[in-house]
């Protein structure tokens, strides 16, 4: 059997198409999303509708953003879904999600994301965090481990810090390759991301926080005394009450924001 053909559609690798077909897994995901009538549900990459159909069954209307023109057209022709879906044939990475905001109804976004774009897509979505209630995503299992990591662990990195800056992270479910057609080479997992209503550690300047975190983790094995020397002096780190001999994975989100806010107020003269 050609495992690339599912429900008459040949999976396109460039769009990261691995279609869910395991009904137990699909039911578990829908139960964890728990869609309710009247809510503003938005699916990224509905594909052949494996998640769309059961989610739409709980709702009168929902929105989908699908890049593949063939799949978007299929959904437009779908006997049941076409009436319920507001279909945007578009690239979710460039999509302005603000256009989907409804009065007094935050967005609930979900999707079995194409793994090749999952990280930049999440960063794109974080821009809309104030208007998002929650997000449920199927991702590569390793990525979910990184999102949910605690400091002092190997999985803790830039993705952890920047995600936890915006969201509470809860791993929901692990999923093996056999749940998809074609089967991916990696294990997968579903994660729930709930944007904080009030950021617990707000940065004065997000670009600076990004710069500090990137510098630190670009040289994972170095102590922050070395990896951050272009942005902050050793004495200033120490004065903030942070041990300069720590490595990037030992610093908490709060530590990073403390350093970034100091750097925002006291930028170093440009160094090479």
Nearest-CB residue for ligand SAM: 45
| 44 forms part of the interface with ligand SAM (CB under 6 A) | yes
Which one, 69 or 221, has the nearer CB to ligand SAM?
A: 69
Convert residues 178-207 into a mask of x (bound to ligand SAM by CB under 6 A) and - (unbound).
------------------------------
In the complex, least distance from residue 48 CB atom to ligand SAM, rounded to whole angstroms: 6
Beta bridge partners of residue 271, listed in sequence order: none
Q: Which C-beta is closer to ligand SAM: that of 17 or that of 40?
A: 17
The smaller minimum CB distance to ligand SAM, of residues 91 and 265, is found at: 91
Q: Please give the structure tokens belonging to residue 77.
A: 């022709």
Stretch that binds ligand SAM, among 34-42, 64-72, 204-212, 219-227 (CB under 6 A): 64-72
Residue 40 bridge partners (DSSP): 107
254 is written with which tokens? 């709060």
Q: Which stretch binds ligand SAM (CB under 6 A): 43-51, 97-105, 155-163, 222-230?
A: 43-51
Which of 35, 46, 157, 195: binder of ligand SAM (CB under 6 A)? 46
Give the whole-angstrom CA distance, residue 118 versus residue 131.
20
Coil/strand/helix, residue 215? helix
Q: Report, in Å, the least distance between residue 109 CB and ligand SAM.
A: 12
Minimum CB separation of residue 92 from ligand SAM in Å reads 3
- Relative to beta strand 19-20, strand 180-181 is antiparallel
H-run or E-run covering 56: helix 52-56
Cβ neighbours, 10 Å, residue 234: 14
Question: What's the closest the beta carbon of residue 43 comes to ligand SAM, in angstroms?
Answer: 7
Residue with tokens 């978007």: 72
Subset of 95-134 contacting ligand SAM (CB under 6 A):
112, 114, 117
CB neighbour list of residue 32: distance below 8 Å, 6 or more residues apart:
136, 172, 173, 190, 192
Whether residue 208 contacts residue 266, with contact meaning beta carbons closer than 8 Å, is answered with no
Give the nearest distance from C-beta 184 to ligand SAM in angstroms: 8
Length of the chain: 272
Q: Which SS3 state, helix, strand or coil, does residue 47 take?
A: coil
How many residues touch ligand SAM under the rule CB under 6 A: the total is: 24
Tell me how far apart the alpha carbons of residues 187 and 176 are, in angstroms, rounded to a whole number: 5
Residue stretches of the annotated binding site for S-adenosyl-L-methionine: 18, 20, 45, 66, 91, 112
DSSP state of 244: T
Subset of 65-94 contacting ligand SAM (CB under 6 A): 65-68, 71, 91-93
By the rule CB under 6 A, 50 interacts with ligand SAM: yes
* Residue with Cβ nearer ligand SAM (67 or 172): 67
7: left (phi over 0), alpha (psi -120 to 50) or beta: left
Q: By CB under 6 A, name the binding residues for ligand SAM.
A: 15-20, 44-48, 50-51, 65-68, 71, 91-93, 112, 114, 117
């Amino acid at each position: 059997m050609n495992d690339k053909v599912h429900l008459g559609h040949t999976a396109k690798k460039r769009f990261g198409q691995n279609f869910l077909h395991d009904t137990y897994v699909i039911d578990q995901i829908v139960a964890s999303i728990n869609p309710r009538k009247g809510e503003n549900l938005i699916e990224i990459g509905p594909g052949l509708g494996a998640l769309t159909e059961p989610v739409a069954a709980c709702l009168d209307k929902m929105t989908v953003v699908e890049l593949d023109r063939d799949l978007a057209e299929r959904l437009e022709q779908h006997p049941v879904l076409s009436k319920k879906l507001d279909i945007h044939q578009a690239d979710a990475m460039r999509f302005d999600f603000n256009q989907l905001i409804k009065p007094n109804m935050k967005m609930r976004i979900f999707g079995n994301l194409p793994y090749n774009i999952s990280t930049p897509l999440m960063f794109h979505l974080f821009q809309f965090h104030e208007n998002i209630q929650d997000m449920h995503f199927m991702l590569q299992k390793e990525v979910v481990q990184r999102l949910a990591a605690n400091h002092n662990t190997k999985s803790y990195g830039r993705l952890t810090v920047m995600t936890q800056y915006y969201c509470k992270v809860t791993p929901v479910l692990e999923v093996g390759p056999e749940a998809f057609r074609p089967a991916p080479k990696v294990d997968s997992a579903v994660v729930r991301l709930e944007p904080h209503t009030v950021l617990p550690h707000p940065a004065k300047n997000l670009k600076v926080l990004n710069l500090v975190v990137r510098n630190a983790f670009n040289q994972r094995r170095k102590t922050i005394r070395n990896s951050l020397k272009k942005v902050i002096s050793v004495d200033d780190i120490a004065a903030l009450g942070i041990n300069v001999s720590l490595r990037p994975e030992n610093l908490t989100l709060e530590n990073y924001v403390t350093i970034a806010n100091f750097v925002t107020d006291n930028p170093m003269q440009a160094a090479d």
